[in-house]
Structure 1
Amino acid sequence: MKKILLGALALLVVAAGVLFLLKGKDTYEGHTSSVSLSDGLNVGSTISYTLFDQFGKAHTLDDSIHTLILVFAKDTGHAVKAFLGAQSADYLTTHHAAFVADISPMPVVIRNTFALPDLKTQPYSVNLILDETIATSLKKGAKVDGITVVTLKNKQVEKVAYIENAEALKAMIEKEN
């Protein structure tokens, strides 16, 4: 019995090592993201960014975006994902909105093995924060345990709201357009 347990443990260690080697390389290495805020997520601040989505495509904030949906925690990210998954594929575009999710705390092997394959099944783009420095600059002045909805006009913050559920998210997105 002891040999069987040791053998199973050895197989588990080898399997974990192989998984790490296969999925432990950062697929976004060489992709340069950037975020600039003149005064954190506060009214009057100007924001600009270039972030990559789950497909590796760069997204630069432009004047057509009126609503930013920001999530910094796993639970709120899942709530927004569930809400957007129930909408039409062009919901964000139609409502001049962008979804930004902070996945910087996630280990690369977990991100590559579970998070990105799941996000790639979604018909909408998720602008990903992969760098902790970028996440820190966006969190400045933000409530990180809720869904942050930022209303923009020409990349300038007009309003910041913190919401808790899908109904409030829908109301905020559709009210702004």
Structure 2
Amino acid sequence: MRYLSVLLLSLLPLLAQAVEVGERLAPWTLLDQFDQAYSLDDQTRTLLVARGMDGAKLVKEALQDRPKGYLEARHTVFVADIQRMPALIAKMFAIPAMRDYNYRVLLDRDARVATRYAGAEDKVLWLQLDNGRLVAQQEYATAAALREALEKAPH
């Protein structure tokens, strides 16, 4: 019985509805590393989602040496799924370190946003939006490829 319960719980993420091209993304609001709220709106053109630490590191490397406001100028927001990070580590070390970043990190502490968008744990998911609708999606496995895509993004 215990085995069956574990199996069913492990399959739950597969049952989540993945957003399809042409669909409007459901609204959400998250706090950033400064506890400032951000709500997804129709002005957002690109949504970057890191579902694990490896993806977040790719974003950090891709944005290294980029000026403050770089993502905002491209109407891009970055969501980091930190729900698996122990709360004490997040509060004492990780989030204070993020305050030194020159970009905004929207923190998905309860996995209520990042899990809406299917993607690999070790990659960065790029969702291209037009007035809140998904028009394309792609995953990036290297910081160089992500940086190149960001450079080409309209601003």
Cα displacement (A) at 1:62: 1.3
SS at 1:76's partner residue?
Answer: helix
Is 1:175 the counterpart of 2:116? The answer is no
- Whose RCO is larger (CA < 8 A, sep 6+)? 2
CA offsets per residue over residues 66-91 of structure 1, 9 Å max, x none?
Answer: 01111011112112112223211110
d(CA) in 1 for partners of 2:72, 2:111:
27
- Please provide the CA RMSD for this pair: 1.6
Aligned sequence identity (%)? 33
Contact 2:79-2:114 within 8 A present in 1 as well = no
Query: Of Structure 1 and Structure 2, which has the larger fraction of its residues in helix?
Result: 1
In the TM superposition, 1:33-52 aligns within 5 A as: 40-47=18-25, 48-52=27-31
Is 1:146 the counterpart of 2:123? The answer is yes
In the TM superposition, 1:24-173 aligns within 5 A as: 40-47=18-25, 48-138=27-117, 141-173=118-150
Structure 1: gaps of 5 or more residues: 1-38
How many equivalent pairs are there? 137
TM-score by length of 1: 0.71
d(CA) in 2 for partners of 1:55, 1:84:
19
Give the AA of the match of 2:109: L
Change (3 A) 1:118 1:165: same
Structure of larger gyration radius: 1
d(CA) in 1 for partners of 2:19, 2:149:
17
Change (3 A) 1:155 1:146: same
TM-score by length of 2: 0.81
Give the AA of the match of 1:44: G
d(CA) in 1 for partners of 2:59, 2:148:
13
Structure 2: gaps of 5 or more residues: 1-16
CA offsets per residue over residues 2-59 of structure 1, 9 Å max, x none?
Answer: xxxxxxxxxxxxxxxxxxxxxxxxxxxxxxxxxxxxx523212221221110000000
Contact 1:43-1:157 within 8 A present in 2 as well = yes
Cα displacement (A) at 1:133: 3.9
